[in-house]
């Protein structure tokens, strides 16, 4: 999945234009920057590629999630529904605002189960946050319908799924707000970076101000700019944006390689009786960053992952046992281990996750293996890998 594999001259050229001027900040210094505005250029390119009116480039995907929620007015005590299978950044961003993460079961899409989401909606629910893990999405039409019925916002965490689409729209552009990560191991990278996209001008203005200490960016004297509300510093640097700009221009090239390698593996694994693939909702197209499948039992899945690694098939994850991506190992969340005091709303409203029943999530994730797709594999290497995978899986099935 990572664009860093193909970091090259195009990225170096963009970075050199920044280092030649020495203007590393995205705002101001107009006279010195020789016309180079890499963050703004990447925002314009993102708007075009994602078919949205607004994009705000920021320092990380975690920042993007926090800013997206803040820009829509999410705050203390508001509840945000998110899946049990995600990266910890999802609940970190919610907690950063004093809002409350409400974990909900996944289904065979490996993302939010709309039936479980409906059951979790309450008086304080403000947002449904599907997380497009490993390159694919939930049934977004069903989630959108729930949002409309209950007056909620749909905020897409598309950090792992840039380039996928749903109902003809790029992932991230389907909801009220969408978030991307451009950290070092994402499909395209800035080194570190992220973005919030939307079609809502007010959310965009809020995101623009919030991510830069509340600066309203009116005029060209930073010291004289207004501060309509409190913000933080989630700015991206021009150096990071320069890398991302070059990578974004290459996104479709990367996706094509991912799709080719994914298809070789999938076609081979499809011949194995009893092996099931993650389901992709109708109208959805993955970004092909991972190939995810289910073994018949938890034991077989754990064993198969170990055996694949032993046989040299790297990058196949058994997320069920992972400390960062599945609720089972999030005792720092469930026991609210924080450095300082926790907002009272979080303390009072956070469900007692030690008693929660996420057996539906266990059912799917306990049997799942997700194998990442690399861009630099040749066709021959990918075929060889697929043959090894088929041999190992068949032996253990
Ligand atoms: C699903 C998901 N959301 C959010 C993030 C956070 O992105 P970042 O590392 O840029 O903060 C990640 C990063 O791995 C992710 O996988």
CA atoms within 13 A on the CB side of 58: 31
CA–CA separation, 343 and 77 (whole Å): 9
- Tell me, what DSSP letter sits at residue 319? G
Does pTM top 0.95 for this prediction?
yes
Contacts of 350 (CB under 8 A, 6+ apart): 100, 101, 336
Name the residue of 58, 82, 101, 159 whose CB sits within 8 Å of the most ligand 1 atoms, as the mutation to test its pocket: 159
The number of beta carbons lying within 10 Å of the beta carbon of residue 8 is 10
Digitized pLDDT (tens) for each residue of the chain, 397 residues in all: 688 999 999 999 999 999 999 999 999 999 999 999 999 999 999 999 999 999 999 999 999 999 999 999 999 999 999 999 999 999 999 999 999 999 999 999 999 999 999 999 999 999 999 999 999 999 999 999 999 999 999 999 999 999 999 999 999 999 999 999 999 999 999 999 999 999 999 999 999 999 999 999 999 899 999 999 999 999 999 999 999 999 999 999 999 999 999 999 999 999 999 999 999 999 999 999 999 999 999 999 999 999 999 999 999 999 999 999 999 999 999 999 999 999 999 999 999 998 999 999 999 999 999 999 999 999 999 999 999 999 999 999 9
| 160 Cβ inside 6 Å of ligand 1 | yes
| Per-residue pLDDT at 220 | 87
Q: If residue 12 lies in a helix (H) or strand (E), which one and from where to where?
A: helix 9-21
Q: What tokens does 329 get?
A: 């190992």
Contacts of 283 (CB under 8 A, 6+ apart): 141, 166, 167, 168
CA torsion 206-184-112-71 (nearest 10°) is: 0
| Per-residue pLDDT at 1 | 65
CA–CA separation, 53 and 36 (whole Å): 22
Residue nearest to atom 7 of ligand 1 (CA): 61
Ligand 1 closest atom vs CA 62: 11
Kindly report each contact of residues 327-332 with a partner whose C-beta sits within 8 Å and lies 24 or more positions away, as own/partner.
327/84, 327/85, 327/103, 327/353, 327/358, 327/361, 328/362, 330/88, 330/91
State the distance from the centre of ligand 1 to the C-alpha of 59, rounded, in angstroms. 11
Ligand 1 closest atom vs CA 65: 4
Handedness of CA 303, 372, 197, 169 (dihedral sign): negative
Per DSSP, the residues of 87-133 read -THHHHHHHHTT-EEEEE-B-TTSSB-HHHHHHH--TTEEEE--B-G
State the distance from the centre of ligand 1 to the C-alpha of 66, rounded, in angstroms. 12
| Per-residue pLDDT at 2 | 84
CA–CA separation, 27 and 101 (whole Å): 34
CA–CA separation, 370 and 67 (whole Å): 29
State the distance from the centre of ligand 1 to the C-alpha of 181, rounded, in angstroms. 6
State the distance from the centre of ligand 1 to the C-alpha of 392, rounded, in angstroms. 31
- Report the candidate in 87, 52, 39 with the shortest Cα–Cα distance to residue 178: 52
| 183 Cβ inside 6 Å of ligand 1 | yes
| 159 Cβ inside 6 Å of ligand 1 | yes
State the distance from the centre of ligand 1 to the C-alpha of 397, rounded, in angstroms. 33
- Would you tell me the crossing angle of helices 298-310 and 379-396 to the nearest 10 degrees? 140
Residue nearest to atom 8 of ligand 1 (CA): 61
Contacts of 260 (CB under 8 A, 6+ apart): 379, 382
User: For 286-295, b where at least 16 C-beta lie within 10 A, e where not — what string?
Assistant: bbbbbbbbbb
CA–CA separation, 53 and 350 (whole Å): 35
State the distance from the centre of ligand 1 to the C-alpha of 62, rounded, in angstroms. 6
Name the residue of 58, 62, 172, 179 whose CB sits within 8 Å of the most ligand 1 atoms, as the mutation to test its pocket: 62
| 181 Cβ inside 6 Å of ligand 1 | yes
What are the angstrom distances between the C-alpha of 285 and each of 156, 193, 256, 288? Answer: 15, 24, 13, 8
State the distance from the centre of ligand 1 to the C-alpha of 189, rounded, in angstroms. 12
State the distance from the centre of ligand 1 to the C-alpha of 88, rounded, in angstroms. 8
| 156 Cβ inside 6 Å of ligand 1 | no
Per DSSP, the residues of 28-72 read S-GGGSTT--HHHHHHHHHHHHHT-SEEEEES-HHHHHHHHHHHT
| Per-residue pLDDT at 354 | 86
Residue nearest to atom 14 of ligand 1 (CA): 87
3-class SS at 372? strand
Q: If residue 208 lies in a helix (H) or strand (E), which one and from where to where?
A: helix 201-210
């Amino acid at each position: 999945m990572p664009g860093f594999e193909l970091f090259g001259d195009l990225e170096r050229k963009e970075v050199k234009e920044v280092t030649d001027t020495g203007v590393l900040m995205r705002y101001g210094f107009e006279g010195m920057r020789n016309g180079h505005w890499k963050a703004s250029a990447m925002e314009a390119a993102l708007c075009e590629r994602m078919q949205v009116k607004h994009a705000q480039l920021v320092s990380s995907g975690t920042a993007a999630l926090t800013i997206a929620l803040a820009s829509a007015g999410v705050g203390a005590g508001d509840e945000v529904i998110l899946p049990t299978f995600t990266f910890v950044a999802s609940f970190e961003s919610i907690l950063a605002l004093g809002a409350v993460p409400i974990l909900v079961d996944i289904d065979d899409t490996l993302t939010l189960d709309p039936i479980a989401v409906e059951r979790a909606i309450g008086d304080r629910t403000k947002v449904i946050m599907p997380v497009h893990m490993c390159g694919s999405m939930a049934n977004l039409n069903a989630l959108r319908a729930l949002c409309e019925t209950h007056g909620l916002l749909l905020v897409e965490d598309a950090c792992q799924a840039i380039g996928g689409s749903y109902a003809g729209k790029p992932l991230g552009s389907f909801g009220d707000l969408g978030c991307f990560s451009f950290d070092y191991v994402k499909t395209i990278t800035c080194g570190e970076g992220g973005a919030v996209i939307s079609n809502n001008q007010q959310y965009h203005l809020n995101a623009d101000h919030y991510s830069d200490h509340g600066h309203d960016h009116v005029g060209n004297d930073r010291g004289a700019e207004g501060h309509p509300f409190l913000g933080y510093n989630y700015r991206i640097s021009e150096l990071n944006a320069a890398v991302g700009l070059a990578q974004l221009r290459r996104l479709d090239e990367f996706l094509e390689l991912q799709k080719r390698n994914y298809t070789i593996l999938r076609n081979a694994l499809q011949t194995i009786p009893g092996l099931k693939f993650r389901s992709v909702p109708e109208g959805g197209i993955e970004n092909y960053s991972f190939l995810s499948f289910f073994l018949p039992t938890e034991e077989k899945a754990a064993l198969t992952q170990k055996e694949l690694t032993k046989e040299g098939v790297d990058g196949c994850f058994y997320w069920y046992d992972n400390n960062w991506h599945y609720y089972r190992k999030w005792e720092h969340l469930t026991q609210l281990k924080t450095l300082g005091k926790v907002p009272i709303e979080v303390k009072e409203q956070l469900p007692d996750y030690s008693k929660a029943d996420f057996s539906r999530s266990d059912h799917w994730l306990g049997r799942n293996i997700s194998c990442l797709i690399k861009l630099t594999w040749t066709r021959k290497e990918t075929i060889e890998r697929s043959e090894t995978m088929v041999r190992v899986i068949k032996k253990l099935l």
